[in-house]
Amino acid sequence: MELVFATHNQNKFEEVLLLIPEHIKLLSLDMIECFDKIEETGTTLEENAQLKADFVTKNYGFNCFSDDTGLLVDALNGAPGVHTARYAGEKKDADANMDKLLAALNDNDNRNAHFKTAIALNINSEKHQFNGVVEGTIASKKSGAKGFGYDPIFIPEGYDKTFAELPLFIKNKISHRGRAIQKLMAFLIEHQLF
């Protein structure tokens, strides 16, 4: 079975690839030669995920899933939220995003936050949604060289290291995206869709 994961982000693709059984051929947007800019105009993570999945299904004809992820910081009233990737501007610069977030929190004692991933699956003309959440805190400074995005400043609940310091197999087990993918896979297995 071929299934498109609607992303150009190679780090994200490789993370998810480790969570998908070998008998599913996972394809990225680059692999299907989709280089269009898919506008994320939704007001929620779920809407943005659905927009991307719908674009691929409509224009390329593949069964597809897409994700949108947000970091929601309690002390910032849920920001950056749906604007997580573009928090510091349209360049989607991870370091600039983290710097802006750390500056916004400054010396705030409330560092509580959570990551949420929304997945939209379009398969056999049906649409399904799955969510994954991980609670945690924002570190006072960047730490670790693994991962991508906000990983160097997010400490998942129950750990004393950032996602960027943890081995990938642990991150995949406990992360927001890992949890959402687990729900996606359970759905595919339950409905014998591969």
H/E stretch holding 115 reads strand 112-123
Contacts for 32 with CB less than 8 Å, ≥ 6 apart: 4, 56, 60, 62
Catalytic residue among 30, 36, 68, 109: 68
Q: How far apart are CA 5 and CA 52, in angstroms?
A: 10
Please give the span between the terminal C-alpha atoms of the chain, in angstroms, as a whole number.
6
Phi, psi for residue 103 in degrees, rounded to 5: -65, -40
Q: In one letter, which amino acid is 134?
A: V
Q: How far apart are CA 91 and CA 189, in angstroms?
A: 38
Q: How far apart are CA 12 and CA 116, in angstroms?
A: 15
| 68 annotated active-site | yes
Q: How far apart are CA 120 and CA 122, in angstroms?
A: 7
Q: How far apart are CA 169 and CA 153, in angstroms?
A: 19
Supply the DSSP string of 113-157, one letter for each residue.
EEEEEEEEEEETTEEEEEEEEEEEEE-SS---SSSSTTGGGEEET
Residues belonging to the active site: 68
